[in-house]
Amino acid sequence: NAGVTQTPKFQVLKTGQSMTLQCAQDMNHNSMYWYRQDPGMGLRLIYYSASEGTTDKGEVPNGYNVSRLNKREFSLRLESAAPSQTSVYFCASSEQGTDTQYFGPGTRLTVL
């Protein structure tokens, strides 16, 4: 049982490049989330998806887009990466009506 998986684990981009972070869960959860973690700031919500086909903005959505491809997969896209987007990105999932979110291992992104 893999839980929540994320690819890639590490990525270095140049300013202006684009990339997509992939997330998949095998727990049949309806809700999925993308967070970023910056030093000294805890985790902040970027986007979330309550169910397949729906997405909503979180606290820090600017510069990102998301796609809920199906129930299992929720991707995060950076169209034109900026150094301010250097961070560790976590995907999480939860079952609606429950309170526990399960996190993936994270993607460490550096934008030069």
Partner 1 sequence: AQKITQTQPGMFVQEKEAVTLDCTYDTSDQSYGLFWYKQPSSGEMIFLIYQGSYDEQNATEGRYSLNFQKARKSANLVISASQLGDSAMYFCAMREDPNFGNEKLTFGTGTRLTIIP
Q: Does 42 bind partner 1 (CB under 8 A)?
A: yes
Of 1, 14, 28, 40, the residue at the interface with partner 1 (CB under 8 A) is: 40
Identify which of residues 14 and 39 has a Cβ nearer to partner 1 in the complex: 39
Identify which of residues 14 and 28 has a Cβ nearer to partner 1 in the complex: 28
Provide, rounded to whole angstroms, the least separation between the CB of residue 18 and partner 1. Answer: 24
Which residues on neighbouring strands pair with residue 36, listed in sequence order?
A: 44, 89
Q: Supply the DSSP symbol for 54.
A: -
How far is CA 87 from its chain centroid?
A: 11
Site string for partner 1, 79-108 (x = CB under 8 A): ---------x-x-x-x-xxxxxxxxxxx-x
Which residues on neighbouring strands pair with residue 77, listed in sequence order?
A: 20, 65
Whether the CB-CB separation of 86 and 109 falls below 8 Å is answered with yes
